[in-house]
Structure 1
Amino acid sequence: MTVLGLYLTKKSVNKAEISRRTGISKARLTQLTNNLTTKLTTDELWKIALAIDISPCDLLNEVCGGIKLPNTSSD
C-alpha cells in the first residue's frame, strides 16, 4: 500500500466518494493507493485534498514528507 493509501485508510476515507467528488476514476484511485510505482500528480493531490477537506499542503507533507535529497559529497 502507498503512503496515500495508508493515510486515506487511517482517516477512514471513502474512495468512491473521492472519485465522485474529484472526477478521478476508481481504478486510478486504486492504483494511487495500492501500487508503489504509480506517481501521484499535483492535480490529483490537490483534488483529493479538497475532497477530504484538508489543506493540499498538509496532504503533500503526509505523502511526500519522507522524501529526502540524496547524499552528495563535494570533493
Structure 2
Amino acid sequence: MTELGLFLAKKSVNKAAISRRTGISKSRLTQLTSSASTKLRADELYLIGLAIDIDPGEMLNEIFKELKLKNEK
C-alpha cells in the first residue's frame, strides 16, 4: 500500500466517492493507493484533498513526509 493508500485508509475514505467527486477513475485510484511505482500528479492530489475536505497541502506534507533535500541534516 502506498502512503496515499495509508492516508486514505486512516481517514476511512471511500474511493468510489472520491472517483465520483473528482473524475479520477476507480482504477487510477487503485493504482495510486496500491502501487509504489505509480506517480501521484499534483492535480490528482489537489482534487482528492478537495473531495475529502482536507487541505491538499496537509495531505502533501503527510504523504511525502519522508522526502528530504540532499545534504540536509
Question: Normalized against structure 1, the TM-score is what?
Answer: 0.91
| 2:29 paired residue number | 29
Secondary structure of the residue aligned to 1:60 is helix
Structure with max Cα Rg: 1
Q: Deviations over 1:3-23 (max 9, x none)?
A: 000010011000000000000
User: When the two structures are aligned, how many residues end up with a matched partner?
Assistant: 72
Spell out, residue by residue over 1:3-62, the C-alpha distance to the aligned partner (whole angstroms, 9 max, x if none): 000010011000000000000000000000000010000000000000000101001001
Residue type matched to 2:38 in 1?
T
Structure 2 residue 41 is matched with structure 1 residue 41: yes
Task: Give percent identity, aligned residues only.
Answer: 65
Q: Give how far 1:70 is off.
A: 2.8
Q: Any gaps of 5 or more consecutive residues in structure 1? A: none
Q: CA RMSD in A?
A: 1.1
Moved over 3 A (4+): none
Alignment of 1:1-75 (within 5 A): 1-71=1-71
